Amino acid sequence: MELWFTGTNAGMPIADRNVTSIVLRLAETRGEFWMFDCGEATQHRLLRTPLRITRLEKLFVTHLHGDHVFGIPGLLSSRSSLGATAPLQIYGPSGIRELIDSWMGITETHLGYPLSVCENTEGIVFEDGDYSVRCAKLDHRIECYGYRVEEKPRAGALLVDRLERAGIPPGPLYGQLKSGLDVELKDGRIIRSADVRGPAIPGRIVAVLGDTRPCAGAVRLSERADVLVHEATFGGNLADKAELYGHSTAEQAALTAREAGVSRLLLTHFSSRYGAEDIAELVQEARTLHPNTDAAVELTPYAIARARNES
């Protein structure tokens, strides 16, 4: 599992930073990836990564400001032109369905795959056997959401030495025990799966927040996340401007991360006024409150390690 940032700038693109879009690449065995927001030119930036648009499975939209959605029509059209047939699901605030229907209708864009659009209510918006996704409202100038992705726990490793002591040779029985099934041996003994497996391996937690002032929803979504992606539009000297426009400073992002017990904080959505040296200063501001903080760098993969208490 890893994160890619195809845009980290706020408001509009600049020469070396595009507007907001974040990709969560799922486990290699699954193959698909999910996207959070889709600013203008996102599909262009994806061409510079190993990610293929046809493998996009879900798009989670935080809010309907242009720097977060203007890339959607082109992305949907190109996904179809490239031959994708697998369904695509879009989740977002009220109005997202009307916006997409208008784009598709006025431009007479026809897709070669099923598209479903779900307008959020707070709580779980998606769940399957591997992941769940929960959303909650944030505090921005318009309706805005953050998302919490939780990977389901995995079964613990087989305790092979214990199986060998019980006289169970490698073979099909190992697979059954690994999958959680109890087995009966020829001599009548019952081997319980729970007795020959190590502790369950906790899943990873990733929180991706939209634009927001500090708020309770941001803390709830971020609680004990392995990675929190949080906007840092301004430095601390512009806290009044951040409050006025519904944004956070780097220090405020770090406070949320610290309160929520986050392992790693990745800052994004930087004002166009900031160059590379300025962003380094924002990171230092945040690190005074949450040491494990970095500024997201576009087109760089960020691996998400397994949970801290995994043996």
Q: Which residues contact 276 (CB under 8 A, 6 or more apart)?
A: none
Question: Does 230 show up as a binding residue in the annotation?
Answer: no
187 is catalytic: no
Of residues 103, 207, 203, 206, the one with CA closest to residue 145: 207
Whole-angstrom distance, CA of residue 24 vs CA of residue 4: 7
44 marked as part of a ligand binding site: no
Selected catalytic residue, list 16, 67, 128, 139: 67
Tell me what percent of the chain is helix, strand and coil, each rounded to the nearest 5: 30, 25, 45
Please state, in angstroms and rounded to a whole number, the distance separating the CA atoms of residues 217 and 222.
9
Query: Is residue 290 a known part of a binding site?
Result: no
Q: In 3-state terms, what secondary structure has residue 17?
A: strand
Q: Is 68 annotated as a binding residue?
A: yes
Give the gyration radius of the chain's Cα atoms: 22
| Token pair belonging to 104 | 């598709």
Cβ(80)–Cβ(112) under 8 Å?
Answer: yes
Q: Is 110 annotated as a binding residue?
A: no
Q: How far apart are CA 257 and CA 263, in angstroms?
A: 8
Structure tokens of 294?
A: 């970095």
67 annotated to a ligand binding site: yes
Q: Give DSSP secondary structure letters for 229-290.
A: EEE--B-GGGHHHHHHHT--BHHHHHHHHHHHT-SEEEEE-B-TT--HHHHHHHHHHHHTT-
Q: Confirm or deny that 269 is annotated as ligand binding.
A: yes
Element (H, E) at 191: strand 190-191
- Provide φ and ψ at 258, rounded to 5°: -65, -45
Q: Roughly what angle, to the nearest 10 degrees, separates helices 96-106 and 72-81?
A: 60
Residues making up the annotated binding site for Zn(2+) are: 63, 65, 67-68, 140, 211, 269
Residues making up the annotated binding site are: 63, 65, 67-68, 140, 211, 269
Positions marked catalytic: 67
